[in-house]
Structure 1
Amino acid sequence: MIQKILRVSFSIIGMLVGMALASVIFSNTWILEPFNLSLSTEFEVFVYVALIIVFGLIFFILFPLMLKGVKKLAKIAEASMENVRLIDIGFGLGGLIIGLVIAMLISFAFVQIPFPWIGTILTIVSYIVLGYLGFILAIKKREEILLAFQSVKREKEANAPVSQKRSPKRKGAAIPKLLDTSVIIDGRIFDICKTGFIEGPLVIPVFVLNELQLISDSADELKRNRGRRGLDILNKIQTDLEIEVQITEEDFEDTHEVDAKLVKLGKSTKGKILTNDYNLNKVATVQGVDVLNINELANAVKPIVLPGEEMKVLLVKGGKENGQAIAYLDDGTMIVVENGKKYIGNSTIVLVTSILQTAAGRMIFAKPKK
């Protein structure tokens, strides 16, 4: 139905074009003079009707081809704009407007040229070239433009009278914390933020969100559940906590790995990466980016025991070595009890002999108290 309406409308446009063409013909008699045609009223009516009908039919017949071409162009435009960010479009339009304004000012000089056609050509070329340059340069120099605005704002605030200076908000004083995918899925970040030990802002890059979405849409049920858990944790942080959360669209198209993008973002923003990924921790540290590792925090807050202390534990299974038994504290710390195999299944008082701190956590060695 809509296509029929559009086709009729397109045909009406064709009829108007035919009417306009007939008007041009009769308003310029030099067009008809070579043909020695009499300009009677009947002849004018005939030409008007003929051109209106002919152009109406042409536009009616050509409508399907025109519609097909428009759809094809729309698909090409949609595909090319799929990965373009909204901020780039905004900067591009701003640059385009500035370029066209400059072209308009320059065109006033071209009007003074004695040869009108030369001035017209130069005006058209200047609009195209300056409009294009403004659009492209605004997108390519986006970061520099933002930095320039920020430096101007900081300079203005620094030079403002003391009475006009606003005290900085507490949320802006803290170093940004960049969340990676693993720490979001882990979930402990919500409880840590809830205690108030971590100050905002928490920065969630858009490429981390995209990775979470891919995991949530995975065909593997375990991965899908992990991804959905991560999205739920983010939602809880945003709705249940007062900590500032920022979603940044900053991306690095020349880098494909999410961890590498996160390290680059940490460098550019001077932020700290919040993770529990051991490999990301090492890579970021080597490249000079500060890291807050949730696993290291968990190990740091485990209860401290010293050699010679006594504790009562439940021995649950045998160890790797002959005669060993294994017990666990409430926080998951493993206790290896020498000569404790005969006490498996019982709560026994043991004496701590040594403590081993590893990257994976803390391990306690003990022996049954005699």
Structure 2
Amino acid sequence: MQRRIIVLLMVVAGASLGATFLPMAWRTIQVADNQWLNNPFTNILIGAIIFFLFALVLERYISAGLSYIEKKLSEISLTYLLFGAIGTIIGLMIGMIISIPLYNLNIPFVTSFLPFFVMILLGYFGFQVGVTRIEEWKKIFTPKSKKTEETQQQILERKAGDTFHRYKILDTSVIIDGRVYDIAKTGFLEGTLLIPNFVLYELQYIADSGDSLKRVRGRRGLDILNALQKEEDISVEMYDGDFEDIQEVDSKLIKLAKLLDGVVVTNDYNLNKVAEFQNVPVLNINALANAVKPVVIPGETMDVLLVKAGTERQQGVAYLDDGTMVVVEDGQHYMNERIKVVVTSALQTAAGRMIFAKPAHSGRGIDDVKPENAEDLSVASDTNNSMQNNGNQSQNNQNGNQKNRNKGRKNA
């Protein structure tokens, strides 16, 4: 169907061009007096036949080009196209107004070339202004009554303070991680979860990766997005705009957060630091996980299962249910055993929390160990003393015999 339409349009265009330009061609070759050749019907027919032959040769390439354009247009949001078209039209109109004096200069090169250049340049600038200021254009075209209602609503929502941010902009890492879904379900994330188009494209790129591990992570992220969108209690919106002059997704997120006065939700440590440096609010899921871990104090006891050896000598390593690492001194003697340990200290790092402990029984002194049978201990002690006395007496006899032998040698 598409090819037929292309051929039909080219035939109509050929007929129109034939009726317009072929009479001039006949006069040029001096056959304008031929009534059979130089008449409207013949001109239309010749133009239609010529373009029909062109259509048979070029329709495949034209169809491929149109399919490519359709694919690109389907990836662009309607808002982007609308404001881009409005900006282009305004730019062309301004260029046309500016070009009117240029036509009156009667300078050959300037009159023919400069107006065309000015119109193209201003049309391009108008397009760029239209597509890079979408949010600002939306605010301009929003009815005044609606603006007043939104302002009043924002005032009511910000009574507790000015720290409220409506949009929580999700990063690729936090979507793939998946914990943001559970946090949002509990209601701890207020406002609207905003998923930019460039984050969605990055997720799709990861899901289509040749690496199986990346492919699984990307598909998990897409599943999390679908689950968030299906939750009625969670407000999720898509952001169709893009920043063509910025290549990195992290930089786009920071610029979008500044534009919308939003908060970036991420697990990326580097993005966290860069955003903080640029005074952009950040919610880090890892920091939240560390904050809600149970607090341990020195002297507290806990049961742990030692699973591997530590880096230092005789250390053993165990893990709590939340993944916190517990380093146990002298723990290698109890590998793959569940023992009771006493907390000695805790260390909080950017990567998480580490707990240092020692086996509970290692804290008892030797005086605390009581024998099960005191009489057996007394008998053992007497036996030990008797054996020690016999040993001393035997040693004295040996010393006396040695002295007598030495004395006999001297007399001899």
If the length of structure 1 is used for normalisation, what is the TM-score? 0.72
1:244 matched to which residue of 2?
Answer: 235
Deviation at 1:88, TM superposition (A): 3.6
Residue 58 of structure 1: CA displacement?
4.0
Alpha-carbon distance between aligned partners in 2 of 1:164 and 1:14, rounded to the nearest angstrom: 56
Q: Does 1:305 align with 2:296?
A: yes
Report what 1:40 is aligned to: none
Inter-partner Cα distance in structure 2 for 1:250 and 1:159:
21
Within 2, Cα distance between the matches of 1:20 and 1:339?
A: 99
8 Å CA contact 2:165–2:261 kept in 1: the answer is: no
SS in 1 for 2:279: coil
With over 3 angstroms needed to count, the CA separation of the structure-2 counterparts of 1:319 and 1:135, relative to structure 1, is: same
347-356 or 240-249: bigger deviation:
240-249
Instruction: Give percent identity, aligned residues only.
Output: 45
Residue 223 of structure 1, CA deviation = 0.5
Q: State the Cα distance separating 1:16 from its structure 2 match.
A: 8.0
1:332 Cα deviation (Å)?
Answer: 1.0
What's the counterpart of residue 253 of structure 2? 262
* Partner deviation per Cα, 1:102-154 (whole Å, 9 max, x = no partner): 99999xx9xxxxxxxx9xxxxxx9x9899867754543333557536626859
**Matched residue SS, 2:346:** strand
Moved more, 93-102 or 345-354: 93-102
Distance 1:211 1:46 in 2: 62
Q: Is the Cα contact below 8 Å between 2:2 and 2:63 reproduced in 1?
A: no
* 1:150 and 2:142 matched: no
2:128 pairs, out of 125, 129, 140, with 140
Q: Which amino acid aligns with 1:262?
A: L
What residue is the counterpart of 1:112 in the other structure? none
Residues 200, 341 of structure 1: CA spacing in aligned structure 2 closer, same or farther, 3 A cutoff? same
Shift of 1:335: 0.9
Partner Cα separation in structure 2 for residue 253 and residue 366 of structure 1: 54
RMSD: 4.7
Amino acid at match of 1:87: T
Partner Cα distance (2:215, 2:278) in 1: 32
CA offset at residue 182 of structure 1? 0.8
SS of 1:193's equivalent in the other structure is: helix
Q: Does 1:89 align with 2:81?
A: yes
Q: Are 2:175 and 1:184 equivalent residues in the alignment?
A: yes
Alignment of 1:163-174 (within 5 A): 167=153, 174=165
The equivalences for 1:1-370 within 5 A come to 48=39, 54-55=46-47, 57-64=49-56, 67=59, 70=62, 74=66, 86-95=78-87, 135-142=123-130, 146-147=135-136, 150=139, 156-157=144-145, 167=153, 174-370=165-361
Unaligned 5+ segments in structure 2 are 101-105, 107-112, 159-163, 362-412
CA–CA distance in 1 between the matches of 2:250 and 2:2?
49
Query: Who wins on radius of gyration, i.e. which is larger?
Result: 2
Letter in 2 for 1:147: E
In structure 2, do the counterparts of structure 1 residues 98 and 218 end up closer, same or farther at CA, with 3 Å as the change threshold?
closer
Q: Secondary structure at the match of 2:288?
A: helix
Q: TM-score scaled to structure 2, two decimals?
A: 0.66
1-structure distance, mates of 2:147, 2:241: 30
Distance 1:22 1:221 in 2: 63
Distance 1:152 1:53 in 2: 50
Post-superposition CA distance 1:64-122 (Å, at most 9, x none): 4674785587589679969865434212433456678899999xx9xxxxxxxx9xxxx
Is 2:348–2:354's contact at 8 Å kept on the other side of the alignment? yes
CA offset at residue 15 of structure 1?
A: 6.7
Deviation larger for 79-88 or 250-259: 79-88
Moved more, 292-301 or 247-256: 247-256
After superposition, the C-alpha distances for 1:183-213 in whole angstroms (9 at most, x for unaligned) are: 1111111111111111131111111111111
